[in-house]
Amino acid sequence: MKQLTKDQFDSLLQTAVIRPKIRREVRFANVAQLDEATWLHTEVLAVPDRSGNKGVLLLKATENALYVASYELKRGMTSSTGKAQPIICDFCRTWQTGTRAGSITLDKPGRANGSVTFLCCADLACSQHVRSLTSAARTSRSQLREDMTNEERIARLEQRINELAQVVELVAYTGEYANTEK
């Protein structure tokens, strides 16, 4: 996705109708250190609040458009017998052990429209997992015996984002944020 400035992020939050509490508490400073190249190689970017468990999730819709949703993250996945439960991330399809697994609840746009919960990588580093930059990615490759290139995984992640965004009824935003400032 394209790099956002703080101002562009703020105007996106207004446009996307994010819950006021999340809008107040989200900390853009948590992602402000990322450089332009990192933004370009990121399809899923969490901008958390101070707790790290809630915030605003940015998802790449197209080269010039983003989905935006407030989220709440739960880390760790246990079965009914209390054992750590491995999952496959709904976004990047990475197999994760129970301790690295999580679930993310995305609010539908607007008030009182409900929310949808997906399984996810607890670190939300899906963009790095599909590029095989993590040990979790290597573990997943051997667990799932997958034979795909990184490019194919990136394309699959982009497709999954669009499918999941439809489920949550997210709107893709272009507009002012696309006019990158110096």
In the complex, least distance from residue 46 CB atom to Zn ion, rounded to whole angstroms: 11
Q: Which single residue brings its beta carbon nearest to Zn ion?
A: 89
**What whole-number distance in Å separates Cα of residue 58 and Cα of residue 164?**
13
Could you give the C-alpha distances from 122 to 62, 91, 174, in angstroms and in order? Answer: 24, 12, 28
Size of the site for Zn ion (CB under 5 A): 6
Q: Would you count residue 126 as binding Zn ion (CB under 5 A)?
A: yes
Which residue, 67 or 91, has its beta carbon nearer to Zn ion?
91
Contacts to Zn ion from residues 77-96, by CB under 5 A: 89, 91-92, 94
Which residue, 91 or 177, has its beta carbon nearer to Zn ion?
91
State which of residues 47, 59, 69, 121 lies at the interface with Zn ion (CB under 5 A).
121
Which residue, 17 or 133, has its beta carbon nearer to Zn ion?
133
Strands (E), 53-182: 54-62, 65-75, 87-88, 95-96, 101-107, 115-121
**What whole-number distance in Å separates Cα of residue 129 and Cα of residue 76?**
18
Token readout for 134 is 């993590």
Q: Choose the binding region for Zn ion from 23-31, 35-43, 115-123, 165-173 (rule: CB under 5 A).
A: 115-123
Could you give the C-alpha distances from 163 to 149, 152, 156, 170, in angstroms and in order? Answer: 21, 16, 10, 10
Q: Which residues of this chain interact with Zn ion, rule CB under 5 A? A: 89, 91-92, 94, 121, 126
